[in-house]
Amino acid sequence: MTERELWERYQRHLCVVPSVGLTLDISRMNFGADFLDGMRPRMDAAFQAMDALEKGAIANPDENRRVGHYWLRAPELSPEAALKTAITDMQAQVAAFARDVHAGKVKPAKAAKFTQVLLVGIGGSALGPQLVADALGSHRDPMQVHFLDNTDPDGMDRTLGQLGERLSETLTVVISKSGGTKETRNGMLETERAYQQRGLDFGAHAVAVTGDGSELDQYAKGHHWLRTFPMWDWVGGRTSLMSAVGLVPARLQGLDVDGFLAGAKDMDAVTRVHDVAKNPAALLALMWFHAGGGRGTKDMVILPYKDRLMLMSKYLQQLVMESLGKELSLDGKVVNQGIAVYGNKGSTDQHAYVQQLREGVNNFFVTFVEVLKDRDGKSMAVEGDNTSGDYLLGFFLGTRRALFEKGRESMTLTVQDVGARTVGALIALYERAVGLYAHLVNINAYHQPGVEAGKKAAGRVLELQGKLLAKLQAAKAEARSADQLAQDIGAPDEAETVFKLLQHLSANGDHGVKRTGGERPAEARFQAA
Ligand SMILES: O=P(O)(O)OC[C@H]1O[C@](O)(CO)[C@@H](O)[C@@H]1O
């Protein structure tokens, strides 16, 4: 295609969204002339289903739940007055609480004010807040936000160590919709101990965001925490950023939450329109369908040319892959659907994996995110009249061309800046695109059955560990092999898991297990230390 033809294609297909200052360029995706028209019937059905979802239909049939994240930024759309009230009350309570914290009305036991936030959560209870804190945060914010998002003891020590003395002025926000996620529970208990070791009452420095009556809710209320904020079953974890999950940390950090919600609301209004050419979410969904043949055969590379958006791909990994990565279709057929997501930021990634994108396996499509505003204030010239921002643009356009020349497809989202409205709009854009795409491929985007399998398997592993430790205690100083111990605990077929457990137990002093013998699994011997 000549440059002239590309320019024509760029202009013809450019989706312009003035209300949020965003454009979507799909011209470097090589869909055929009849593709968009050909998809019209399936897209219309997706629009109808999405309209029903927003009106309160059961859109998550596997869990018999409604899907209400759009109502979080437009409470007036809620299908019942009670939901609207619940949302606006939550918004008001979160804002008032943050104001009281900033004013020192809610204050720590042994410091003048809370200056740090420690968010303990995982998945949708952390990834969205991490993206927002990074994208919109600055050293001038009234509070800085830290995260514990894993059950890694060393990771907890690093984060709590970085807080150090400042723990006394840290407000811990424990977030778990279910209230039972073990990683979050572990982080909470370890954090609680850190406060206690400094002679601080954890409850006086903690709030919870969780479902009413959950394990976490009961613990928080039973231990007289400062506050609890609600989560509802009609908001999924990966679409909860505009619930208290995202609003509590964002308000405490001092971010422009009103702008964030307004950007999302404005984007929702645009992506509600049944006109594909004017609906960026519909275009994204259709381009995903085109690229992967409705089977996810090409990976989604998210490449923002802006440091502040580096966590966008990590956030979208959950939103896209936990929504679309499904074994069964809505009519029970095995489809193994999904779209893999990866990426970090440009131009940095040009010095990492772009080599393969240009010359390697053509199993991806790129979504560039171009941010027009370089920085607050003016830039210096770094070479001739060129600024660093000129170089960033040059590298983006150069990479886009270098890929296109080799038949590698890309789209480009262009925004004015990385402000609260823009970030809210981007989140809303992808929530809608995922929902529309799910309809195109006939799957339920709003449950996550696959994660239960891993949780159950982990429970079995820890059950085996309990039996192992009891056996080792009883066997005292007798050194035994993994095979023998697997027999001893009545799990002869799980010798490898038993070996892995023993390897970890003997590498740490917590449970008093000693390893002797050779390096190979069959040579190793284990005993109570
Ligand atoms: O907020 P919770 O209930 O602790 O769940 C955390 C995450 O775990 C999942 O349930 C499974 O990965 C996610 O959907 C969710 O965001």
pLDDT grade for 213, boundaries at 50, 70 and 90: very high
Q: Output the CA 144–ligand 1 centroid distance in Å.
A: 24
3-61+260-440 and 69-255: same fold? yes
Q: How far is the CA of 135 from the centre of ligand 1 (A)?
A: 22
Given a contact cutoff of 8 angstroms between Cβ atoms, the answer to whether 466 and 485 are in contact is no
Question: What is the domain class of 69-255 according to CATH?
Answer: alpha beta
Whether the CB-CB separation of 131 and 184 falls below 8 Å is answered with no
SS3 at position 407? coil
Mean pLDDT of 372-396: 98
The average pLDDT across 1-18 equals 96
Q: What is the average per-residue pLDDT within 73-95?
A: 98
CA 78 to centroid of ligand 1, rounded, Å:
24
Pick the range with the lowest mean pLDDT from 388-402, 433-447, 473-487.
473-487
Q: What residue ranges line ligand 1, CB within 6 angstroms? A: 122-125, 176-178, 181, 184, 237-238, 322, 448, 451
Q: Whose CA is nearest to atom 14 of ligand 1?
A: 237
Q: What atom of ligand 1 comes closest to residue 210's alpha carbon? A: 1
Amino acid symbol at 148: L
Q: Based on the number of CB atoms within 10 Å of its own CB, is 162 exposed (0-12), middle (13-18) or buried (19 or more)?
A: exposed
Taking residues 299-316, report their average pLDDT. Answer: 98
Q: Give residue 455's pLDDT.
A: 87
Beta strands in 212-258 (DSSP E): 227-231
Give the whole-number percent of the chain exceeding pLDDT 70.
Answer: 100
Q: What is the pLDDT of residues 242-269, one digit of tens each?
A: 999 999 999 999 999 999 999 999 999 9
- Note the pLDDT of residue 477: 84
The band of 51, judged by pLDDT with boundaries at 50, 70 and 90, is very high
What does 142-206 look like in DSSP terms, one character per residue? SSEEEEE-S--HHHHHHHHHHHGGGGGGEEEEEEESSS--HHHHHHHHHHHHHHHHTT--GGGGE
**Catalytic residue ranges:** 322, 351, 455
Model pLDDT for residues 135-174, shown as the tens digit of each residue: 999 999 999 999 999 999 999 999 999 999 999 999 999 9
b/e per residue 304-331 (b: at least 16 CB within 10 A): bbbebbbbbbbbbbbbbbbbbbbeeeee
Q: What pLDDT does residue 246 have?
A: 98
Residue 343 has pLDDT above 90, yes or no: yes
Give residue 240 CA to ligand 1 midpoint distance, Å: 10
Chosen CATH of 3-61+260-440 out of 3.40.50.10490, 2.70.70.10, 3.40.250.10, 3.30.420.60: 3.40.50.10490
Residue with tokens 């190979």: 520
Q: Which residues contact 47 (CB under 8 A, 6 or more apart)?
A: 274, 282, 436
Residue 57 confidence (pLDDT): 98
Cβ(397)–Cβ(404) below 8 Å: no
Helix (H) or strand (E) holding 35: helix 35-38
Polymer length of the chain: 529
**For residue 323, what are the contacts with CB-CB under 8 A and spacing of at least 6?**
238, 434, 435, 438, 445, 446
Encoded tokens for 471 = 């056996």
Decide if the complex's ipTM is over 0.90.
yes
- Could you report the per-residue pLDDT of 466-511, keeping only the tens digit for each? 999 999 999 888 999 999 999 999 999 999 999 999 999 999 999 9
What is the three-state SS of 449-474? Answer: CHHHHHHHHHHHHHHHHHHHHHHHHH
Q: What share of the chain is helix, strand, coil (3-state, %, to 5)?
A: 55, 15, 35
Over residues 443-462, mean pLDDT: 93
The per-residue DSSP string of 368-406 comes to EEEES---SS----SBTTB-HHHHHHHHHHHHHHHHHHT
Contacts of 114 (CB under 8 A, 6+ apart): 101, 106, 107, 108, 143, 169, 170, 171, 205, 252
Average pLDDT over residues 116-139: 98
Q: What is the mean pLDDT of residues 440-466?
A: 94
Amino acid found at 347: S
Mean confidence (pLDDT) of the chain:
97
In this predicted structure, what is the pLDDT of residue 476?
83
- The pLDDT assigned to 139 comes to 97
CATH match for 449-528 among 1.10.287, 1.10.10, 1.20.120, 3.30.450? 1.10.10
SS3 for 209? Answer: strand
Closest ligand 1 atom to Cα of 245:
1
**454: pLDDT confidence band, cut at 50, 70 and 90?**
confident
Domain layout of the chain by residue ranges: 3-61+260-440, 69-255, 449-528
What ligand 1 atom has the least distance to the C-alpha of 236? 14
CA neighbor of 269 nearest in space, from 84, 76, 43: 76
